[in-house]
Amino acid sequence: MTSLPTAELPNGQAVGETVRIVIDTLYARIRSGEYPPDSRLPSERALAAELGVSRNTVREALDVLETRKLIRRRQGSGSFVIYQSARPETPSPDSIGERTSPLDHLIVRSIIEPEMTRLAVMNMTPRELDALAQTVARIEAVRTDLNEFIRSEEEFYRRIAQATRNPLLESCYELTIEVCRQSFRTALMRKHLTPDRIQEYQTRFNSLFNAIATRDVEAAVEITKLHLVEEQKLFLHDG
């Protein structure tokens, strides 16, 4: 995940690790367009519940984003995105997304995700586990809303990437998510994500979370690999 460089509070004090995670999460959502320009962010209470942190932590993160002129806070109305991305909304023909095939994407994921999972199992804190559990709960609550399922799936893997404590690995995985959005995978998932298949995915995410929560590195990595194999079958079937 791309981080906001040298984040600090308006008083010059360095932010804590939890605040930094919230900043990076919101910054990534703003840059990706999930929170587009002029849109209102969820309330502090909603963000705190979603991210598994205190409202004060969210407030400090919003202070930093406002200082960096990414959002503007209006008393009584909330926080609004004022960040304008320099990237074109539609990728050019030469963009990575346009040049990446489903096989290319699966190869990169097969390299990154098992190692990402292994590091997350070893490094994830209890607070991060709680936040990951909330994400799994949102995934399990989905019945037919494909947008919510895909959004929650991205959040699940972002939390794992953050827990690696490896900024370069986070950034590499963030790029795989952006490529998914620009190209084939989202459209393909919409085509194949029937209620039954959603239920299968939910079971896998639950199993992966349980392996991470019990610090079972071998099981977590194996589940990750099996999930990738199933994705490959889906693409081959479509082909």
Tokens of 132: 């990951």
Class of the domain covering 96-238? mainly alpha
Residues 6 or more apart whose Cβ sits within 8 Å of residue 103: 235
Task: Write down the pTM of the prediction.
Answer: 0.59
- C-alpha to C-alpha distance for 18 and 26, rounded to whole angstroms: 13
Can you give the pLDDT at residue 68?
Answer: 86
Can you give the pLDDT at residue 8?
Answer: 56
Whats the size of the chain, residue-wise?
239
Print pLDDT tens along the chain (239 aa). Answer: 555 655 555 555 667 888 888 998 998 888 888 888 888 999 999 999 999 999 999 999 999 899 888 999 888 888 999 987 654 444 443 467 777 777 788 889 999 999 999 999 999 999 999 999 999 999 999 888 877 888 888 899 999 999 999 989 998 998 888 877 665 556 666 667 788 888 999 999 999 999 999 999 999 999 999 999 888 777 666 55
Can you give the pLDDT at residue 116?
Answer: 97
- C-alpha to C-alpha distance for 88 and 104, rounded to whole angstroms: 23
Which ranges of 33-145 would DSSP assign to H, the alpha helix?
A: 44-51, 55-67, 96-99, 102-123, 126-141
Domain locations along the chain: 17-81, 96-238
Question: Beta strand pairing status for 78-81 and 71-74?
Answer: antiparallel
CB atoms within 10 A of CB 222: 16
Class of the domain covering 17-81? mainly alpha
> Of 16, 131, 132, which Cα lies nearest the Cα of 63?
16
> Is the separation of the CB atoms in 61 and 26 below 8 Å?
yes
Q: Fold match between 17-81 and 96-238?
A: no
